[in-house]
Structure 1
Amino acid sequence: MAPSAISSLVASTSKVEVAKQPEKHVHGAQDKTPLEAISHEPTGIVHPGIPTFSSHAEHRRHILIHTAAVFRDFSRKGFTEGMSGHISVRDPEFPHYIWMNPLGKHFGLMTAGDLICLDVNNGKVVGGNRSRTANSAGFFIHSEIHKARPDVHAVCHSHTMAGRAWSSFATGIDMLNQDVCYLYGAVAVYAEYGGIVFASEEGKNIARSLGDKNKVAILMNHGLLSTGSTVDEAGFLFGLLDRSCAIQLQVEAAMAGNSKLVKHIVADEEAAYNFKMANEKNGLYAEAQPDLDYEFAMAGPGVIERGVDDMKIDHGL
């Protein structure tokens, strides 16, 4: 290649590298809901959000089936560790009752008929599966969050690889990319560790650290926790938080000893805009559906739903 051609190539490349980003970004769709904004307008079709139900029984059936599907999604993503990990969802008719997974049931085998209904105030079994016990540590954590946060309808907690690794630093996560901005200003850090949770006091501490507005929490030396207005939302946010911890670990490792790398964090204005346009209950419900649809397809017809028609609430009688 001629020297002049090489010089021309270098100059062209240099221009691309030093090009400045616009100082002011034009945001769109502020007058639309997140699902209206993401749905391509000429089609006239708006992607569906949270469905509505004609009865508590119909709503409960949907919740239990989707909770089992979220467990299976967690299994596929590697969020299992022996008997650890639990998901709770508030009953649609009795807000002081929560449905949880039985102790020792593999997430990848969960069905709607496996779930246990518990009273958050005293731990009494009030319905559902009575053939197995619940996770005591899970109840102490989840019950305190449900009591402290009436707006929270589902809570997910598990001990993931990336979550446990990043939790050892007892710090939050940077807004390193578009997706993590779904959690902008909504990440709590519980910077203490009180051992395995076998008392309500530690559950209260975790609930207190979550605060009254945060969506997710990083629990030092322990793992991750997410909340949501649906189990679908809580499950999606949990996976997002875990992936964000993994990305943070990769970025920090890449920067270690390399002074040429500069970490660029999304500006507050853009992060806040992303949060506004993405962190909404209908949008987050919709975000979860592709993975749940996959679980229903992989399990086969009627498998995840198995036993749901036997799930009754008897108030512990």
Structure 2
Amino acid sequence: MLDSVKRISVYQPEQRGLNFPELPEFKTPAEERLHLQKRLVAACRAFAQQGFDYGFAGHLTIRDPEHPHLYWTNPMAVHFDQVRLSNLILVDHEGRVVQGDYAVNRAGFVLHAAVHEAHPDIVAMCHAHTEYGTAFSALGKPLAPISQDAAAFFEDHVVIGDEAGQVAVEVKAGHRVANAFAGVKAAIHQNHGLLTASRHSIESAAFWFIALERCCKQQLLVMATGETPRLVPPEKARYSREHVGSDYIGWLHFQPIYDQLVATQPDMFT
């Protein structure tokens, strides 16, 4: 007989005593901050593994647990593969670096600061100039529920047409993008690329970015066949999104990625 275990997902085991990732608990803000910083570094390294680098473009952020008006982010003009604990920077909503030795990415500040400021519940955000997400964004259309994976984004992402194709370096551009993130975890910014946000963790934001890029690739491949795909019906897409599209599931998906990075890239936390 299985022991009764309080669960927030059907993927959590009902049986006690099995190895399974557990959500962390913290005794102090400093302990939580270090945890978040390590996961931010790992998310950057995961983006490097995925080939999401494009010069200095791309920025990932996590809100500070003690000072919510500040956020940690990767340093400007440092490759995702070279981001480490010691070169993260702490930035305020005005784009001023309050801790760290590197500059902040201007476009990253404009977009992420606006989202963090407009949505206090959003704790993390990711953006990179990826191959398939950028290509798909040129279509100006939402992702179709062509698979179980794509259904995770069903009615949980938006297409943003404002500032389409124009580099977001003006504060007003960030505010227009921020308005679109009410109640969704992802956005396709027309002629620009993908953005994800999480109300849970940097792990969740990072994994759903990886997943959205993958889904864009898959949809482009299906479109290239010239055939009309059979879509997951709305009620089944919603059911799948409920069970495999949550912030918790995004966090859970990232745990083996984190473990693999810790085992193979010991310089991350120097």
> Which TM-score band (shorter chain)?
over 0.9
SS in 2 for 1:265: coil
Q: Does 1:294 align with 2:265?
A: no
- Alignment equivalent of 1:82, drawn from 23, 36, 55: 55
The corresponding residue for 1:33 is 8
Give runs of aligned pairs for residues 72-221 of structure 1, distance below 5 A: 72-120=45-93, 122-127=94-99, 129-130=100-101, 132-192=102-162, 193=164, 195-210=166-181, 212-221=182-191
The corresponding residue for 2:3 is none
Aligned partners of 1:50 and 1:282 also within 8 Å:
no
The corresponding residue for 1:244 is 215
Per mean C-alpha deviation after superposition, the further-off stretch among 69-78 and 181-190 is 181-190
d(CA) in 2 for partners of 1:66 and 1:195? 31
Aligned partners of 1:194 and 1:202 also within 8 Å:
no
State the TM-score, normalizing by the size of structure 2.
0.92
After TM superposition, give the deviation of residue 112 of structure 1 in Å: 1.3
d(CA) in 2 for partners of 1:112 and 1:296? 13
d(CA) in 2 for partners of 1:246 and 1:174? 12
What root-mean-square deviation, in Å, do the aligned CA atoms of Structure 1 and Structure 2 show?
1.6
SS in 2 for 1:62: helix
Aligned partners of 2:143 and 2:153 also within 8 Å:
no
Judging changes above 3 Å, is the alpha-carbon distance between structure 1 residues 181 and 49 closer, same or farther for their aligned structure 2 residues?
farther
The corresponding residue for 2:197 is 227
After TM superposition, give the deviation of residue 45 of structure 1 in Å: 3.5
d(CA) in 2 for partners of 1:172 and 1:46? 38
SS in 1 for 2:269: coil
The corresponding residue for 2:269 is 305
d(CA) in 1 for partners of 2:7 and 2:263? 32
Regions of 4+ moved over 6 Å:
none
Judging changes above 3 Å, is the alpha-carbon distance between structure 1 residues 149 and 299 closer, same or farther for their aligned structure 2 residues?
same
SS in 1 for 2:38: helix
Code of the aligned partner of 1:304: M
Q: For residues 104-135 of structure 1, give each alpha carbon's deviation from its aligned partner in whole angstroms, at most 9, with x where no partner exists.
A: 10001110111110111x222222x22x2111
Q: Does 1:267 align with 2:242?
A: no
After TM superposition, give the deviation of residue 47 of structure 1 in Å: 3.0
For structure 1, which runs of at least 5 residues remain unmatched after alignment?
Answer: 1-30, 307-317
Code of the aligned partner of 2:96: K
State the TM-score, normalizing by the size of structure 1.
0.79
Q: For residues 111-166 of structure 1, give each alpha carbon's deviation from its aligned partner in whole angstroms, at most 9, with x where no partner exists.
A: 0111110111x222222x22x21111110110000011111100100110000110
Code of the aligned partner of 2:205: A
Aligned partners of 1:49 and 1:282 also within 8 Å:
no
Count of residues paired in the alignment: 263
SS in 2 for 1:246: helix
Aligned partners of 2:146 and 2:230 also within 8 Å:
yes
d(CA) in 2 for partners of 1:283 and 1:51? 15
After TM superposition, give the deviation of residue 231 of structure 1 in Å: 0.5
Aligned partners of 1:162 and 1:242 also within 8 Å:
yes
d(CA) in 2 for partners of 1:57 and 1:219? 35
SS in 2 for 1:304: helix
Matched-pair identity in %: 32
Max Rg structure? 1
After TM superposition, give the deviation of residue 205 of structure 1 in Å: 1.3
The corresponding residue for 2:29 is 56
Code of the aligned partner of 2:27: S
d(CA) in 1 for partners of 2:72 and 2:176? 22
